[in-house]
Structure 1
Amino acid sequence: MMRPTLKLKNLALGALLIGGATYFTACDMNDDGVSNDKARLQIALTDDPGDYKEVWIDVQDVRINVSDADDQNWTSLKGVKTGMYNLLDLVNDKDTVLADAEIPSGKLSQIRLVLGDNNYIITNAGVKLPLTTPSAQQSGLKLNIHQPVVAGIVNKLTLDFDVAKSIVEAGNSGKYILKPVIRTVLEAVGGNLKGYVLPDSVQTAVLVIRGADTIASTYTAPGAWQLRALEAGTYALHFLPTDTTFKAFVKEGVTVTTGQITTVDTVRLQKR
């Protein structure tokens, strides 16, 4: 057991006050205070280059289906970032997150990417041309996934939009049709840490530190804590009780593995 230096403690607390709340998610809890029946799903959009100056799509909704029924059980994801996206801003491994929501764990069968009417391209000559959408896709482009989503970790589904194959010129009319060709990739993002601090009546800040940098942070509530989507690697955990009659505690050498939840041994705070 050791006490972090005052400088490191102040740096860590500063980072916690700035960003720590974003790492704690209220959800259904098991006996350890950690979600055991929900999976966190991120939907990201990326693109392969095409021979245009700009390609804009009008994202209106993202819907998911966890059943095998095509005509029912569709649910809109909460917090979808609707609006206009230039696909050519998302090339060379860049992406943007369209949605980040909790869904039932199990199998993700299908998703629908629902587009509005304001889709268009700007040619290399600077001409703006509208993109029409086939009537069969007015209810959204359906993509088959049929893969498991795991509870307790971040599951990232990337929609890789192939612009070159998705935009079709209608004969010699000068009109263009949007027939999206999208490859889907579902993968775990980073790994999770979880644990428990006693006494659970003492709210404690938990900080993940690599070198002099605070990577992530949260508070216990009550006693239980969890941090998600951490990059694989080895970290030090700093436990800073808000009740200053208890000593801070540091646990070195905590390993994070992509796609896994690592349970850290219970920390028992000691009085000064």
Structure 2
Amino acid sequence: MKITHYLPVAACIGALALSSCAADKTDATKLQVRMTDAPGDFQKVSLDVRQIEVHLKDEQDPNGWELLPFTPQALNILDYVNGRSALLVDTDFAPGDLKEIRLLLGPNSTVTTRDGVTYDLKTPSGQTSGVKLKLNKATLKERETFQLLLDFDVAKSIVQRGKWRPGDDKKERFILKPVIRVIAQDIAGGLRGTVTPTASLPQILAIRASITPADTFSTSADASGGYQLSSLPSGVYRVEFFPTTTAPANQPVYKNVVRTDITVTNNQITELGQTKLD
């Protein structure tokens, strides 16, 4: 299969790591893997994803592949455009270098054109040897969050056969030749602030709803009312504050508070100041 790579880049697609890949939680890194797409002139593009492997050793070592437990599924990648992404992995993973990713596609990928007709997507080698993506400087460090984004360019990836004409076999119209941009980054954004009254014992949720499924991160305020959420992906968040106890008699009732349009930037801590729950 012909694949276009953009370097230097790193990416991964998969699901929960095998126990052989996982580390003790005190030393593990948090690995997040997402898929996003550049828009194309189609109604639907369904990728039949069957199997994911990651290569952890030297490229020439045939024993370096690790199979990732991934539930086979069909992904309509056109659901994940304009900043939306599909969360495929959110798991603890052993620190170290990732060398290569292999994505095995099944025979049931399809494309639906604007007129509502669905065609098979032929994948010349994806069902056998798989789609391989080389990783450049993809190093997972202890107690950090590492995000790997597979950016699929559907407009360039679906090729129509030049000799195909209406009335020909529908299975022969389109070929899938993935054009993929792969991106990797350490996630080091965060939110910080205080909550009063401290007696409300609040829980804090930071929700990034622009992706699918939505990211939700949680913490609780300490005895002084302070809190910090670390390792947040950059984006716009809704932050929700929930008292976990009731106010004493003759005092204002504790209430839930929601703050919207909170921007998190990678490698920066966003200060939220004080939030009052009474």
TM-score bracket, shorter-length normalisation:
0.5 to 0.7
Partners of 1:230 and 1:256 within 8 A in 2: no
**Counterpart check, 1:237 vs 2:221:** yes
Question: What displacement does 1:252 show?
Answer: 2.5
List structure 1 runs of 4+ shifted beyond 3 angstroms: 189-193, 208-213, 253-260
Label 1:209 to 1:57 Cα distance change in 2 as closer, same or farther (>3 A).
Answer: farther
Structure 2: stretches of 5+ with no match in the other structure? 1-21, 166-172, 197-201, 207-215, 233-265, 270-278
Aligned to 1:113: 103
Deviations 1:49-106 (A, max 9, x none): 011111110111221112122533111223x243111111111011111223333212
Amino acid at match of 1:181: V
The partner residue of 2:155 within 142, 161, 164 is 164
CA distance in 2, matches of 1:87, 1:257: 26
Deviations 1:142-201 (A, max 9, x none): 0111321122122111100000110111222251110111111112235589xxxxxxxx
Give % identity.
Answer: 33
Question: What displacement does 1:131 show?
Answer: 0.4
Higher fraction of helix? 1
Aligned to 1:177: 175
Question: What displacement does 1:137 show?
Answer: 5.8
Q: CA RMSD in A?
A: 3.3
Label 1:254 to 1:179 Cα distance change in 2 as closer, same or farther (>3 A).
Answer: closer
Partners of 1:155 and 1:186 within 8 A in 2: yes
Partners of 1:209 and 1:236 within 8 A in 2: no
Aligned to 2:226: 252
Amino acid at match of 2:57: S
The SS at the match of 1:156 is strand
Of the structure 1 ranges 132-141 and 80-89, higher mean CA displacement relative to structure 2 is found in 132-141
Aligned to 1:63: 53
Partners of 1:153 and 1:192 within 8 A in 2: no
Q: How many residues align?
A: 191
Aligned to 1:76: 67
Amino acid at match of 1:144: K
Question: What displacement does 1:108 show?
Answer: 1.1
CA distance in 2, matches of 1:93, 1:81: 24
Matches within 5 A, 1:5-84: 29=24, 35-36=26-27, 38-70=28-60, 71-78=62-69, 80-84=70-74
Partners of 2:144 and 2:231 within 8 A in 1: no
Label 1:152 to 1:52 Cα distance change in 2 as closer, same or farther (>3 A).
Answer: same
The partner residue of 2:186 within 185, 188, 198 is 188
Structure 1: stretches of 5+ with no match in the other structure? 1-26, 194-207, 217-228, 239-248, 263-272
Partners of 1:105 and 1:151 within 8 A in 2: yes
